[in-house]
Amino acid sequence: MALCMAVVAAACSGSGEVLWPAGPSDLVLRVVNTGGLVPPGSEFQLPALSLYGDGLLILPGKPAGSVAHLRLTVDGVRRVVRAAVSAGLAKEQDYGSPQILDAPASFFTLVTDKRHESVVVAPFELSVDNPVQTEARRRVHTFRKALNDLDSWLGDDIGPVTTPEPGPYLVFGYQTSEQGQVVEWPFGELQSSRCQLLSGEQARVLVRSTLWRSGDNVFRLVARPLLPDEKSCADVRWIR
């Protein structure tokens, strides 16, 4: 695995260098939002952000259910990695857990010379009893706000939105009692909380319906493209 190297300012992580993988299927940063009062299947939707070593940035698009591909320059990737390190995502942190019923959480994966995984119970800006934890949450909150406004933050280091080529899809079914037009599922047996991998050609069937019958049950589906660092359903780590 090739590595890119960027000098990180002392104010960010102490003097030294930070590495990130440079391959087109090498994950650099992923943000997954899950939990809270959300409908079934929400945990399987496209991650809030996936950045790869060649600068490919994959985001949920508009309208809902679509996918946006952008391309960062090397400097753009460097700035994102630097900001993630500055936010503390390259080291173990205790962010505390606000006592909120069914609070959502965000999962951050940052890959430098090794893989770092962090879980922050939202809302980030909420203070907790420990001031060290509160400061750690504040730094992640600042980073997350920057990610939410990439155009303002990265400027010329971010390219235009492009349309991805059709490819394999991951499909997650969950049982429902909804009424409506129901179509027989053509690709094996659907089971709640189980994932199937469809080819790009097979995925064309998804436009036919939102409700599908498999055996004696009706299912609603969540479907999204297979991401560059994924080869199968087993690679979707955050739904385990």
Supply the CATH number for residue 140's domain. Answer: 3.30.1560.10
- pLDDT value for 139: 92
- pLDDT value for 236: 78
Domain span including residue 200: 169-226
235 occurs within a structural domain: no
pLDDT, averaged across the chain: 85
Contact 232, 202 (CB under 8 A): no
Element at 31 (helix H, strand E)? strand 27-35
234 occurs within a structural domain: no
State how far the alpha carbon of 228 is from the alpha carbons of 53, 112, 153, 211, in Å: 11, 18, 25, 28
> Out of 78-82, 158-162, 181-185, 206-210, which region has the weakest mean confidence (pLDDT)?
158-162
* Residue given tokens 């950045």 in the structure block: 51
75 occurs within a structural domain: yes
232 occurs within a structural domain: no
